[in-house]
Amino acid sequence: MAEDMKTFPLFFEGARIPNHIMKKITKQLLSALEYAHACGVIHTDIKQSNIMVKFRNPAIIDKYLEDSLSNPAADLGEYNFDDASELVQADVVLGDWGSASWVEKHLTDFIQPTLLRAPEVILGAPWGTKVDIWNLGALLPELLDALRMFNGRADVTGGVYLTKHHLEEIEALFGPFPPELLQSGKPQIVQQFFDKEFNFRNWTQRPPAVLERWIESIGGLEKSNFLSMIRSMLVIDPEQRMTALSLQDAPWLST
């Protein structure tokens, strides 16, 4: 493997991976998840550093090793592309399966990067393969448009991460939370944030969350199709969330 998705965006202006390259990357990631889920495996830890670009030619490694003798600071990733026009040839793999779980046997419930964590995981509700779909859906805008979907912070509470703010951000964009999901969560968690009618306690006022305004690198039908796919991945109710297989037919990926 060469660079990962933390460094690969730096090849592009504004650290935004172009739309046509993002489509290719997304298709490959969905194929990886489709295979894993069919095998009864959930990745549970999809993040930039776990998505890696493949070497286009293994001889690059030998060239790097030779050059690194005279230049110990040589960056292996920079050897993978000689020209910007070659970046479209990037292929990716989903790596680091050390935190993965079986569908039928969870090894831990402490899963996923905090800001990419699925609602059911935050609430302590039962979870399955759909956590990977939420995780990837929350990450794609960051790769395409350097946009972090959630930060879990608010000025009124000192700008520190709070689970309450994270849940509020999710509801503001994709809510409300289904009562069935809240009923299946751990009572000690759910009751901190929701009343008996499943309404938020002490809602934090903040500017309206409008996803259409946040995505700036693409427009028109491409933007509409991208946001439509994101919304089908970031459905709060995991039962209604799209699968890795069905997402591969999304209009954004087929145009």
Asked whether 32 and 95 are in contact (CB, 8 A), the reply is no
Whole-number pLDDT of residue 157: 86
What is the pLDDT confidence band of residue 84, given thresholds at 50, 70 and 90?
confident
pLDDT tens-digit profile of 119-139? 999 999 999 999 999 999 999
Number of Cβ within 10 Å of residue 31's Cβ equals 14
pLDDT tens-digit profile of 40-66? 999 999 999 999 999 988 898 899 899
| pLDDT for residue 207 is more than 90 | no
pLDDT tens-digit profile of 169-196? 999 999 899 999 999 999 999 999 999 9
Reduce the DSSP state of residue 91 to 3 states and report it: coil
Contacts of 246 (CB under 8 A, 6+ apart): none
Region at 153 (left for phi over 0; alpha for psi -120 to 50; beta for the rest): beta
Number of Cβ within 10 Å of residue 113's Cβ equals 16
Whole-number pLDDT of residue 123: 98
Whole-number pLDDT of residue 77: 76
Mean pLDDT across the stretch 229-250? 98
Helix spans in 128-186 (H)? 130-145, 163-174, 179-184
**CA distances from residue 62 to 8, 52, 57, 67, 74 in whole angstroms, order as listed:** 21, 19, 10, 9, 13
Whole-number pLDDT of residue 231: 97
Whole-number pLDDT of residue 41: 98
Domains of the chain: 8-54+90-254 (1.10.510.10)
Residue 214 structure tokens: 């946040």
Beta strand 41-42 with 51-53 is: unpaired
Mean pLDDT across the stretch 230-251? 98
Residue 93 pairs in a beta bridge with 52
pLDDT tens-digit profile of 5-45? 999 999 999 999 999 999 999 999 999 999 999 999 999 99
DSSP 117: -
What are residue 101's phi and psi, to 5 degrees? -130, 155
Residue 101 structure tokens: 């779980």
Provide the whole-model pTM. 0.94
Whole-number pLDDT of residue 8: 94
Whole-number pLDDT of residue 1: 87
Mean pLDDT of the chain: 95
